[in-house]
Structure 1
């Protein structure tokens, strides 16, 4: 990760740093300030990296929820525990939605 990120990657933080870096680079391009251009490129790249890391992390969490939910749903169906089966189905759906929102990795 970069110096801009926290211990956990964040899509919001990644987008912020990507946009901020692009703006800094633009100012550097307009003014000829090479330090701003360089710093802007670096911050933009760091933001993009953080965004992609958060996206991958969220996709993996969705996968874990899908499999865990499927397991709970099956166990609930086999044992006749409708509550466990419904909770498993809900967790599976949550995982599917999370994967869908983060699938462009």
Structure 2
């Protein structure tokens, strides 16, 4: 797995990778007495944790948008008698709800 530093979008996978690699570097630095390894590991771990949390917050917000949009589609579908819109609105709402639960802070 490689670092995703060129992407402007936060990534949970990349954040977790950098957090883990940073911890490994820190342990290695502590083991050999290498202050530069220890410091680099701490920094990479902190950056990884920050990226993971940013990606998690973004996904939670996307879930909120899907949940609200789905609810609107469900209501509009019910009011207009459009069962397909109502059904797809329910699906989108439920998807958003699951996305929120998976990314709760």
CA distance 1:59–1:5, shift in 2 (3 Å): farther
Partner of 2:71: 70
Q: Counterpart of 1:84 in 2: which secondary structure?
A: helix
Deviation at 1:5, TM superposition (A): 6.2
Partner of 2:94: 93
- What runs of 5+ residues in structure 2 fail to find an aligned partner? none
Partner of 1:26: 27
CA distance 1:101–1:72, shift in 2 (3 Å): same
- What runs of 5+ residues in structure 1 fail to find an aligned partner? none
C-alpha contact 1:28 1:34 (8 A) present in aligned 2: yes
Name the Cα RMSD after superposition. 1.1
Q: Counterpart of 1:93 in 2: which secondary structure?
A: helix
Partner of 1:42: 43
Q: How many residues align?
A: 102
TM-score, normalised with respect to structure 1 = 0.94
CA distance 1:34–1:4, shift in 2 (3 Å): farther
For residues 11-31 of structure 1, give each alpha carbon's deviation from its aligned partner in whole angstroms, at most 9, with x where no partner exists: 000000000000000000000
Deviation at 1:81, TM superposition (A): 0.2
TM-score, normalised with respect to structure 2 = 0.94
Query: In the alignment, is residue 83 of structure 1 matched against residue 84 of structure 2?
Result: yes
